[in-house]
Amino acid sequence: MIERTLVIIKPDAVKKGLIGEIISRFERAGLRIVAMKMLRLTKEEAAKFYPSDEGWLRSVGSKSLKSYSEIGKDPREDLGTDDPVEIGKIIRGWLADYLSMGPIVAMVIEGNRAVEVVRKIVGSTTPYSSPPGTIRGDFSVDSPDLANLEKRALFNLVHASDSPKEAEREIRFFFRENEFVDYT
């Protein structure tokens, strides 16, 4: 099934000079870039990109709590709370800081099962556990425990939509319909 998904090359990857490397991995897999732009978001614009509903905040906070549990550390020491929604709000702020700390490249990638294929190419959200051969596994070793200790988002180089529904919302955030290019 032909799908479209959003990929953002985040400021840390732009700073490391990885734009071409990242794009080439998607193209070598047979995916097509149908829209692309480089831009710089304000913190307020970046905050609007991330959902603020309780379900999303709880999910993000729960992932962080799981990381704390795995390393045997109390999240209240670093974050002042163990409430997953409150932790989600903190992380959402860090994500907005991260996405606005430098230029990004937003692109729409199209292809057969694009959402799933792109996520395989990108690797696990947590770079240190991403296998070699993935973008995150090859170019980053960041971890949630270090990010939380330093009170910042996880530096994981790229964003990739996690579902076709989420891809639609995210694509509309960056692109208008007349910005897509169709080619064979």
- Residues recognised as catalytic: 159
Rounded to whole angstroms, the Cα distance separating 165 from 152 reads 27
Classify residue 48 by its DSSP letter.
H
Beta partners for 2? 112
Strand order in the sheet with 2-9: 32-39, 104-112, 2-9, 158-160
**Please, what sign has the CA dihedral across residues 156, 46, 167, 181?**
negative
Rounded to whole angstroms, the Cα distance separating 31 from 111 reads 5
Q: Is 176 exposed, middle or buried (0-12, 13-18, 19+ CB in 10 A)?
A: exposed
Tokens standing for 168? 């639609």
Q: Given phi > 0 = left and psi -120 to 50 = alpha, else beta, which region is 83?
A: beta
User: Pairing state of beta strands 32-39 and 158-160?
Assistant: unpaired
